[in-house]
Chains A and B, each alone.
Chain A
Amino acid sequence: MSAVIVLTPIVVSSWPVISAAVMGAVTGMGFAVQGSTLHEEKQSSREKVETEIANSEIVADSMTPTEKIVVQKAGVTIEVGQDDRGRCTVCVSGQGQSKKQLKQIGEEVSGRIIQQFAYHKLVTELKHRNYNVVDEEVLADQSVRLRVRL
C-alpha cells in the first residue's frame, strides 16, 4: 500500500443512468416498484420528508419534471425525482412513522443510490481504461469491495 484516498462521489448524469442506480439501490433494499409517474398523496395524515442527494444533478432534458420512480415497502413510499434546480431528490412518506424515522430511511436510500452510481461508474470507466475487476464482494456492512488490476 502506498496511498489511500477517500472520495465523495459526484452524481451527475442523465436520468436513465441515475434511474438505473436508483432501481438497483431500492430493489436491493426490498422495495417494490409502484410506477414511474407522480402519484398525488391522498392521505394527508401521512408524514412526508424530502431529502436531496448531495452533489447530484440530473442532466437537463433527460427527464420530464413530473417523472419519478415510486417504490413501496411496509407502508413506506419513496419517490425519487428531481427538484427545480435539477438535483436528485428522495421523498419518503409513511403512516405511523415519525419524521426522524422517515428522514433516516431517506438518508439510507440516498446513500445506497450513491453507492450504486459510484460502483457502475467506476467499473465502466476502469474497463474502458483496460483495467480488470479481479475480485468483488459485498461485505457484512453492505459495503462493496473491488480489487482492480491493470
Chain B
Amino acid sequence: MSKPEFEIVISKTGKVTVEVKGVKGPQCIEYAELIKKIVGHEEERHLTGDYYAPEGEVRIDTHTKGTTS
C-alpha cells in the first residue's frame, strides 16, 4: 500500500487547501477526510486522474519506432 503525502497550504485568510499525493483510488478520500476532521468545513473537492487509477502497480510503456509515409 502506498504511503500518503499531504501538501497543505494555509492562506493568510485561513483557508486550508490540501492535496493528497501518493495514494490512488478511493483510499485518498479517506486521507482527505482525516484532514477535514481536524480542520473544519469542506468547501470544495476535486478528484484528479490518479483517483480513478487502479491501486495496483500498472506500467504502460509506449514506444514509437520511426514514421511511415
Contacts and interface: CB of A to CB of B under 8 A. Distances in A.
Interface of A: 1-10, 55, 108, 110-115, 117-119, 121-122, 125-126, 129, 131, 139, 141-150
A117 B36 CA distance: 15
A148 B9 contact: no
B26 to A, nearest CB: 9
Contacts, number: 147
6 contacts: A2-B51, A3-B28, A3-B46, A8-B16, A118-B16, A145-B7
Contact of A2 (B9, B24, B35): B24
A3 B38 contact: no
B39 A9 contact: yes
B48 to A, nearest CB: 5
Contacts of B10: 115, 118-119, 122, 143-146
A54 to B, nearest CB: 9
A144 B18 CA distance: 12
Contacts of A118: 10, 14, 16, 39
Given A7-B35, A55-B40, A143 B45 contact: no
A143 B12 contact: yes
A148 B6 contact: yes
